[in-house]
C-alpha cells in the first residue's frame, strides 16, 4: 500500500511528463555524483580523534585540525584565562534578546534602550577589561568573536545615526534633506572594503599627530557609519508606510517635531521594519569577514594563519568548511526568523 | 484682528528661526569638520615629508600586474595602473552580471517548477550560496578548487578546446583575417532588423497581422555576417595554446589565458549574486495574480506562450528594481578581489599603488569616487529603463 502511494506520488510530482522525467533523472544524477562523496569525505572516512596532523591517515576530512585550532578560530589570540569575559558578554546579549520575547510590549522599549545604550558599555568593559580586570588590547581580539563583536557593534551604533538620517531625508529643510541624501547615497555607492582601507590607512592622517585611535575602533566606526546609510534606507521605508493621518494627529495634539517623531512616528515605523533591520544585520554579518583584508585576525585570518603553519599544511578545506558551516547556520536561521516576522507583519496589515 | 496677525507674524518668525538654525549648525559643523581634517592632514603630511596632489599619477609605477587587458608593466605610470585596475573590475563585473543573470533566471524559474526534486534542489542552491559570506566563497574557489588543479604537465584537456591547469584556463584564440567584413555584416543585420520592425508595426496597425520579428532578427544576425564574411573572404583560425619547455619548466604559451584569480572571483560573484537574483525572479513571477494566468489560458495560449507574452513582461516590472540592486552589489563586491590578488581597482590602486606612494588620501578618494560613479551610472541607466517599462496607468 505504502509503495503504491510512493509510486503514485512520484508519478505526480516527478514523472508527470517526458520533460519532467528527464529533469528528475538529471537531478537524481546530480545528487548521486555529489552527495555520497561529500558524506564519505566529511563523516565516513574522516578522522575525529587525535592531536596531530599525522593522526589523520584516512582519505577523508581531518577534523583534528579544527579540533586543535578551535579555540584560536573562535577567540583569536585572546588570553585563555579571560575567555569567560567574551562568553559572558554574548550571554548577556542573547539573554536580553530572549527576554524581549517574553516580556510585555511595554517593556520591550526598555530592552531596546538597554541594548543600544548600556549593553555596548558593559560589553566593552568586559571584553577590553577595566576595574581591576586584566586589560586585553584590541589587537589580541580575534576569531569568530571579533567578527560578531564588530557586526553587533556596527549594527547597534549605526542605528541612532541611521534613524536620524532617515528623518533627515524626509525633512522639509533643504540643507538637511540634501545633506542626508548625499550622505546616504555616498556610503551606499562605495564598497565596504574601500571604507575599511580608508579606516585602516587614511583616517590616522586626518587626526592630530599625537592622538592615537586604535585600529579595531577605527574599523568599527567605519563599519557603523557605512551601515547607517543602509539602516537609514530601511527606516525610511517604514516612515513612508505610515499614513499621513499619524502626523496630522500628532500635530493636532500640539506635539513638536521631536516629540511627534519619538513618541508617535518612530515606534510605529521601527516596528514595521524589524525584518528589514534583521536583513541588514545578516548582510553585515556576512560582510564583516572582509576585515581579514586589512589584517585583522578574524576567523578567516586565523584559518589562513593555521593552514600556513608548517605542522598543518594543506588543511585549508576543513577550516573553510568549518567557517562556512557556522556562518551558514547563523545566517540561515536569522533570515528564516526575519522572514517569519515579515509574514507576521504583512498578515497583520491585511 | 491685530492681535491675530501679530500672532501669525510671531509664529512665522518663530518657524523661520526653527528652520534656519539646525541647517546653519549642520553646515557649520560640516565645514568645521572638513577644515579640521584638512588642517591635520596638512600637518601630518608635512611631518612625513609627503607632498600632496595628483602629480604621482604620471610618474612610473615600478610594479607589475599579472593580468591586464592593456599593455602594462612597471615602466608605465600610476595613471595607467589605475586604468588597468578599472578595466579588470569592469571585465569581471560584466561577465559576472551576465552569468549571474542567466543562472539566477534559470534557478528562479526552477524553484517554481512542478517537479518537486528540481524545486527543492534549486531551493538548496539558493540557501547554500546566499547564506555564506562572499569572501569565504572566493577563498574556497581560489585556495581549495583552482589551486588544487593538476600541474601544467598533467593539464586536463576538455574536448580539445579548453586546457585546465593550476595556472589557469586556456581557450583557443580566434584569429580573423579581414575581420571588418563581419562587423559590416552585423551592422547591416541591425539596420535590416530595424526596417523589418518598422514594417511589421505598420502592418500590425493596418491589417492586425505581424511578422515574427524576433525569429527573423536571429536569422538576420546569423545570416548576414556569414554572407559578408564569405564575400569579404574572411578567414578564421584557432590558435591553441602550446606546451613549451623552458629550462625544464613546462608552460603553455599562446591562446587566451584566464588566470585562476579571475576565475575564482567570477565563479564566486556569479553564484552568490545568482542566488539573490533567483529569489527576485521567483518573487516577481509569484506576484502575478492567478487571474492573469487563467485569462491567458482561457484565450488559448499554451504554457510557453503565456509565460512569454503575459507572465514575464509583467513580472519583469517587479524583478528589475531589486535586480538592479544586485548588479550594483556585484560591481561593489568585485572589490573583494583584493583577498586573492586579482588586480582589480581596489587591489592595484588602493593596495599596491597606495603602499608604493603612501598617498592614502588621494588614492582612497579616487577609488571611492570611481565606485560611486559606476554605481550612479548603473542606477541611472536602470532607472531610465524602469521608467520605460513601468505601467502607464490611464
Nearest-neighbour CA in chain A from B152: distance (Å): 20
Residue B157 parent element (H or E):
strand B156-158
What gap in Å lies between CA B337 and CA B366, rounded to an integer? Answer: 18
Q: How far is CA A48 from the centre of its chain?
A: 30
Q: How far apart are CA B208 and CA B77, in angstroms?
A: 62
Which residues of chain A have a CB within 8 Å of the CB of B131?
A: 286, 327-328, 331-332, 335
Is the per-residue pLDDT at A350 higher than 50?
Answer: no
Our measurement of the distance from residue B271's CA atom to the centroid of its chain's CA atoms, rounded to an integer in Å, reads: 13
ipTM of this model?
Answer: 0.87
SS3 B10: helix
At residue A165, does pLDDT exceed 90? Answer: yes
The beta-carbon neighbor of A290 closest among B127, B336, B368 is: B336
What does the DSSP assignment read for A101-159?
A: HHS-HHHHHHHHHIIIIIHHHHHHHHHH--TTSPP--GGG--HHHHHHHHHHHHHHHHH
Residue A167 covered by a domain: yes
Does A161 or A1 have the greater pLDDT score? A161
Q: With respect to residue A58, please indicate whether it lies within any of the assigned structural domains.
A: no
With an 8 Å Cβ cutoff, are A327 and B132 in contact? yes
Q: B330 lies in a domain?
A: yes
Nearest CB among A14, A209, A307 relative to B116 is that of: A14
Domain coverage including residue B92: 78-172+240-389
How much is the pTM? 0.85
How far is CA B148 from each of CA A25, A45, A97, B339, B353, rounded to the nearest angstrom?
30, 21, 44, 18, 30
User: Is A226 part of a structural domain of the chain?
Assistant: yes
Flag whether B70 is in a domain.
no
- As a whole number of angstroms, the distance between CA A61 and CA A65 comes to 9
Nearest to B259 by CA among B336, B179, B165: B165
Angle subtended at Cα A108 by Cα A104 and Cα A114, rounded to the nearest 5 degrees:
140
Query: Cell match 531589486: residue?
Result: B322
Distance CA B138, CA A286 (A): 13
How much is the pLDDT for B394? 44
Identify whether A171 is part of a domain.
Answer: yes
pLDDT of residue A226: 94
Residue A50 is assigned to a structural domain of this protein? no
Query: What's the domain range around A283?
Result: 63-78+136-349
Residue A63, φ and ψ in degrees, nearest 5: -70, -10
Reported as a single tens digit per residue, the pLDDT across A48-70 is 777 777 777 777 777 878 787 88
Q: Determine the Cα–Cα distance for residues B86 and A37; give it in Å rounded to an integer.
A: 41
Q: Does B104 touch chain A (CB under 8 A)?
A: no
Question: Is the distance from CB of B193 to CB of B225 less than 8 angstroms?
Answer: no
Domain CATH for A269: 1.10.3720.10
Averaged pLDDT for residues A73-95: 82
Determine how many CB atoms are found less than 10 A away from the CB of residue A12.
Answer: 11
DSSP 8-state secondary structure symbol assigned to residue B242: E
* Residue A140 falls inside a structural domain: yes
B213 part of a folded domain: no
Kindly state the greatest CA–CA separation across chain A: 82
| Helix, strand, coil in percent for chain A, rounding step 5 | 80, 0, 20
Share above pLDDT 90 across residues of chain A, in percent, rounded to a whole number? 14
pLDDT at B390: 67
> Are B354 and A335 a contacting pair at CB < 8 A?
no
The reply to whether B371 touches chain A by the CB within 8 Å rule is yes
Helix (H) and strand (E) counts in chain A:
16, 0
Residue A299 has pLDDT above 90, yes or no: no
Mean pLDDT (whole number) for A322-333? 90
CB-nearest partner of B118 from A27, A205, A300:
A27
When scoring B37, B112, B115 by the number of chain A Cβ atoms within 10 A, the one with the most, hence best to mutate, is B115
Report the residue of chain A nearest B116, measured CA to CA.
A13
CA distance B60 to chain A (A): 22
Grid coordinates representing A25 are: 533523472
Per the listing, cell 565516513 goes with A44
Give the CATH number, domain containing residue B108.
1.10.3720.10
H or E element that contains B168: strand B168-171
Residue A94 is assigned to a structural domain of this protein: no
Within a domain: B15: no
Q: Give the model's pLDDT for residue A347.
A: 57
Q: What is residue B369's predicted lDDT score, i.e. its pLDDT? A: 93
Q: Which three cell numbers stand for residue B89?
A: 573590475
- What is the number of domains present in chain B? 1
In Å, how far is A36's CA from the nearest CA of chain B? 16
Q: Does B317 touch chain A (CB under 8 A)?
A: no
Q: What is the number of structural domains in chain A?
A: 1
- Mean of the pLDDT values across residues A28-36? 88
Give the Cα separation of B199 and B210 in Å (integer). 9
Identify the closest residue of chain A to B370 by CA–CA distance.
A190
All residues at 6 or more sequence positions from B98 whose CB lies less than 8 Å from its CB, including other chains:
none
Instruction: Give the span between the Cα atoms of A235 and A168, in whole angstroms.
Output: 11
Other beta carbons within 10 Å of B357 = 16
Handedness of CA A31, A34, A36, A39 (dihedral sign): negative
pLDDT attached to residue B116: 84
pLDDT value at residue B307 = 79
User: Is residue B166 a part of any domain in this protein?
Assistant: yes
d(CA B143, CA A318): 12
Alpha helices in B208-311 (DSSP H): 213-231, 260-286, 290-298, 303-306
Which parts of chain B have pLDDT scores under 70?
Answer: 1-15, 178, 210, 235, 248, 390-394
Angle at A297 between CA A292 and CA A299, to 5 degrees: 80
Amino acid at each position: 500500500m505504502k509503495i503504491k502511494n510512493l509510486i503514485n506520488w512520484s508519478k505526480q510530482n516527478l514523472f508527470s511528463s517526458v520533460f519532467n522525467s528527464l529533469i528528475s533523472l538529471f537531478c537524481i544524477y546530480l545528487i548521486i555524483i555529489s552527495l555520497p562523496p561529500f558524506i564519505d569525505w566529511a563523516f565516513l572516512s574522516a578522522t575525529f580523534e587525535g592531536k596531530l596532523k599525522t593522526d589523520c591517515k584516512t582519505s577523508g576530512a581531518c577534523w583534528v585540525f579544527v579540533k586543535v585550532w578551535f579555540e584560536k578560530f573562535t577567540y583569536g589570540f585572546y588570553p585563555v584565562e579571560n575567555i569567560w569575559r567574551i562568553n559572558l558578554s554574548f550571554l548577556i546579549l542573547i539573554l536580553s534578546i530572549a527576554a524581549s520575547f517574553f516580556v510585555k510590549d511595554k517593556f520591550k522599549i526598555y530592552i531596546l534602550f538597554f541594548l543600544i545604550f548600556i549593553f555596548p558599555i558593559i560589553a566593552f568593559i568586559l571584553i577590553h577589561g577595566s576595574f581591576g580586570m586584566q586589560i586585553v588590547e584590541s589587537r589580541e581580539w580575534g576569531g569568530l568573536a571579533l567578527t560578531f563583536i564588530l557586526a553587533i557593534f556596527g549594527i547597534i551604533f549605526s542605528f541612532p545615526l541611521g534613524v536620524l538620517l532617515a528623518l533627515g531625508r524626509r525633512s522639509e529643510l533643504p540643507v538637511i534633506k540634501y545633506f542626508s541624501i548625499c550622505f546616504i547615497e555616498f556610503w551606499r555607492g562605495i564598497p565596504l572594503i574601500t571604507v575599511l582601507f580608508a579606516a585602516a590607512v587614511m583616517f590616522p592622517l586626518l587626526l592630530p599627530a599625537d592622538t592615537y585611535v586604535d585600529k579595531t575602533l577605527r574599523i568599527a566606526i567605519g563599519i557603523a557609519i557605512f551601515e547607517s546609510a543602509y539602516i537609514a534606507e530601511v527606516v525610511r521605508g517604514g516612515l513612508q508606510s505610515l499614513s499621513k493621518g499619524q502626523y496630522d494627529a500628532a500635530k493636532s495634539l500640539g506635539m513638536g517635531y521631536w516629540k511627534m517623531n519619538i513618541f508617535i512616528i518612530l515606534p510605529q515605523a521601527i516596528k514595521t521594519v524589524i525584518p528589514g533591520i534583521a536583513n541588514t544585520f545578516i548582510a553585515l554579518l556576512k560582510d564583516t569577514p572582509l576585515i581579514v583584508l586589512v589584517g585583522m585576525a578574524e576567523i578567516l585570518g586565523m584559518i589562513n594563519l593555521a593552514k600556513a603553519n608548517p605542522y598543518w599544511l594543506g588543511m585549508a578545506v576543513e577550516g573553510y568548511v568549518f567557517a562556512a558551516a557556522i556562518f551558514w547556520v547563523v545566517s540561515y536561521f536569522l533570515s528564516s526568523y526575519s522572514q517569519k516576522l515579515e509574514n507576521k507583519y504583512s498578515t497583520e496589515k491585511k | 484682528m491685530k492681535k491675530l496677525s501679530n500672532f501669525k507674524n510671531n509664529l512665522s518668525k518663530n518657524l523661520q528661526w526653527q528652520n534656519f538654525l539646525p541647517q546653519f549648525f549642520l553646515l557649520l559643523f560640516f565645514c568645521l569638520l572638513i577644515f579640521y581634517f584638512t588642517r591635520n592632514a596638512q600637518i601630518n603630511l608635512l611631518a612625513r615629508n609627503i607632498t600632496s596632489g595628483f602629480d604621482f599619477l604620471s610618474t612610473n609605477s615600478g610594479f607589475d600586474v599579472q593580468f591586464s587587458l592593456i599593455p602594462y608593466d612597471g615602466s608605465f605610470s600610476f595613471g595607467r595602473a589605475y586604468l588597468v585596475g578599472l578595466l579588470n573590475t569592469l571585465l569581471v563585473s560584466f561577465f559576472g552580471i551576465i552569468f549571474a543573470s542567466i543562472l539566477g533566471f534559470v534557478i528562479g524559474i526552477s524553484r517554481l517548477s512542478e517537479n518537486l526534486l528540481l524545486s527543492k534542489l534549486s531551493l538548496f542552491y539558493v540557501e547554500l550560496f546566499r547564506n555564506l559570506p562572499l569572501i569565504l566563497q572566493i577563498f574556497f574557489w581560489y585556495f581549495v578548487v583552482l589551486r588544487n588543479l593538476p600541474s601544467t604537465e598533467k593539464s586536463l584537456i576538455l574536448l580539445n578546446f579548453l586546457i585546465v591547469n593550476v595556472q589557469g584556463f586556456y581557450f583557443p584564440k580566434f584569429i580573423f583575417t579581414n575581420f571588418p567584413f563581419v562587423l559590416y555584416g552585423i551592422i547591416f543585420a541591425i539596420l535590416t532588423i530595424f526596417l523589418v520592425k518598422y514594417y511589421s508595426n505598420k502592418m500590425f496597425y493596418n491589417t492586425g497581422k505581424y511578422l515574427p520579428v524576433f525569429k527573423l532578427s536571429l536569422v538576420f544576425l546569423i545570416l548576414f555576417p556569414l554572407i559578408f564574411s564569405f564575400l569579404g573572404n574572411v578567414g578564421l583560425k584557432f590558435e591553441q595554446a602550446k606546451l613549451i619547455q623552458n629550462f625544464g619548466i613546462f608552460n603553455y604559451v599562446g591562446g587566451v589565458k584566464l588566470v585562476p584569480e579571475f576565475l575564482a572571483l567570477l565563479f564566486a560573484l556569479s553564484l552568490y549574486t545568482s542566488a539573490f537574483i533567483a529569489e527576485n525572479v521567483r518573487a516577481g513571477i509569484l506576484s502575478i495574480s492567478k487571474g492573469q494566468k487563467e485569462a491567458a489560458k482561457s484565450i488559448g495560449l499554451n504554457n510557453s506562450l503565456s509565460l512569454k507574452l503575459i507572465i514575464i513582461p509583467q513580472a519583469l516590472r517587479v524583478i528589475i528594481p531589486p535586480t538592479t540592486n544586485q548588479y550594483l552589489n556585484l560591481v561593489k563586491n568585485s572589490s573583494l578581489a583584493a583577498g586573492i590578488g586579482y588586480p582589480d581597482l581596489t587591489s592595484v590602486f588602493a593596495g599596491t599603488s597606495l603602499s608604493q606612494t603612501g598617498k592614502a588620501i588621494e588614492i582612497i578618494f579616487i577609488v571611492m569616487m570611481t565606485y560611486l560613479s559606476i554605481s550612479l551610472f548603473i542606477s541611472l541607466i536602470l532607472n531610465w529603463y524602469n521608467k520605460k517599462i513601468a505601467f502607464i496607468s490611464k
